[in-house]
Amino acid sequence: MAGEDKTEKATPKKRRDQRKEGNVLQSKEIGTAVGVLGIFAIVRLLAGFLMRNLLSFSTRIYEVSGTYEVTADNLMSLVVQMITVVVLVVGPVCLSAMVLGIIPTIAQTKGLFTMKALKPKFSRLNPLEGIKKMFSLQSIAGIVKGLVEVAAIGVLVFNEIRDRMPRLLSLMDCGLMQGIAYAALSIFDLVMTICIVLVFVAAADFLFQWWQFEKKMKMSKQEVKDEFKQMEGDPQIKSKIKQRQQEMARNRMMQEVPTADVVIRNPTHYAVALRYDQEKNRAPQVIAKGKDYLAMKIVQIAEEHNVYCMENPALARALYAQVDLGREIPYELYDAVAEVLTIVYRETNKTIHV
């Protein structure tokens, strides 16, 4: 029904279908937080190695400046050294950034890869849809989140610089290496503080994205019913099919009644038709059974076809309860049924072949 409230949680089938379309729970802020935190953690871990390479190259440039004879070979050697330093310094950082950018996405999407999200959709060209997205709850929340994030980081940076300003001014009287070391440690401390803010922002964004995702995935009661019908089949149709199958089974059963040797009844509540084919069966077989209306129908057909009917309430109930349709009677009922068949065969002049 159009406009029906979506109050039901998404079914596993809908989640699977949406996942195939590329719609999964994902927070970009988690990737940002992991990337920034990971990169600067690696930079700090490799700080000594990176600094040694930079200083070595800087020293080399300083030593040859003004005295270095510029030739093709010397220039090529300097370029090779510069490329080597760049690779050693920038390479680990870039590689780490690439890996840390992929890991959060894989973790959140559980390795999902689909091209359906890249397919062109003409609805994206609709300016009305674009305006709706601009003023949607998610867009407003993104703007608010960005403003809060920038404000928090700005306050942290301002406070950190203000607290360290006296120390930074005193570095003018210190050596170059001491100043560089203090500046580097200050930057690292500031970045780690910013990373803590990013972690909290990422956690809040994840909770918001989860709420939005679950809200978007909700289904109406009619959608749940339609999906159930699609997966399991329409219950009404299944009921009609089952009813039709039962009717066909009853009709086949009634067609067997005229071939019975005896119908044992109670007297109207239960009726069981037995047939003993001595060449095919080791014991009498139940070819029809029923209670109430069906029992009366069995007796009626039996009487119309001159099938012997006998009242034996206890045996009728036992046969109805213990023996399935088409099965032979159990061993414990042999004697009781044998007595019945003896009477039937005697009165109908049939002969039992042993």
Confidence at residue 123, expressed as pLDDT on a 0 to 100 scale: 56
Reported as type and span, the H/E element at residue 217 is helix 176-217
**Per-residue model confidence (pLDDT) at position 176:** 64
Residues 134-166 have pLDDT tens digits of 666 667 777 777 787 788 778 877 887 777 777
In Å, how far are 30, 143, 340 from 208, measured between CA atoms? 12, 13, 78
pLDDT at 146 (0 to 100) = 75
Domain range 238-348, CATH class: alpha beta
**Residue 2: what pLDDT?**
47
Which tokens in the block code for residue 279? 């060449």
**Which residue ranges of the chain lie beneath pLDDT 50?**
1-2, 353-354
What is the tens place of the pLDDT at every residue in 303-338?
A: 888 888 888 888 888 888 888 888 888 888 888 888
- CA-to-CA distance for 243 and 250, rounded, in angstroms? 10
What's the whole-model pTM score? 0.47
Nearest Cα to 186, choosing from 167, 200, 199?
Answer: 167
Give the whole-angstrom CA distance, residue 86 versus residue 62: 17
How far apart are the C-alpha atoms of 194 and 149, rounded to whole Å? 10
